[in-house]
Amino acid sequence: MPSMAKQAQQRVGLLQGTLDMLILRTLLYGPAHGHQIGKHIQRTTNEFLQMQHGSLYPALHRLERRGWVVSRWETGPDRNREFKYYRLTDKGRKQLLAEESHWKQMAEAVARVMWPAAEET
């Protein structure tokens, strides 16, 4: 049986992996800065997932370190300030496919437990 510390670490890994997947998926639509990414996730989930800066930006930096996204400072549309735009890399696209496959398997496994098919008599 896993220790409490290991269980907590696995839970954090699951949450980070889920956030990473949502960010990568969002960037499939094109480059975006952090605020746009967070707002897209919030809107798409009908405000169920609230993107906090303390989670979003560390995730973006983690994805960049792994080579799944790249970033570049660009002047915003208002021409008054710069934003750091993130773009999905080829390596990030491959990772997204792997994450989506894993997520689908996990969701199906949980669904089988939560809503089992009618048992045969």
Check whether 6 has a pLDDT greater than 80.
Answer: no
Check whether 86 has a pLDDT greater than 50.
Answer: yes
What is the mean predicted confidence (pLDDT) over 89-108? 94
Look up residue 50 and give its amino acid. Q
Q: What is the mean pLDDT of the chain?
A: 86
For residues 60 and 26, give the distance between their C-alpha atoms in angstroms, rounded to a whole number: 12
Q: Are 68 and 88 in contact (CB under 8 A)?
A: yes
Q: What is the pLDDT of residues 14-32, one digit of tens each?
A: 566 889 999 999 999 999 9
More confident position, 103 or 76: 103
Q: Name the region of 42 (left: φ>0; alpha: ψ -120 to 50; beta: rest).
A: alpha
Structural domains of the chain ordered from first start: 13-114 (1.10.10.10)
SS3 (DSSP) at 78:
coil
Confidence of residue 121 (pLDDT cuts 50, 70, 90): very low
pLDDT for position 12: 45
Confidence of residue 119 (pLDDT cuts 50, 70, 90): low
Among 18, 14, 20, CA closest to 61: 20
pLDDT for position 43: 95
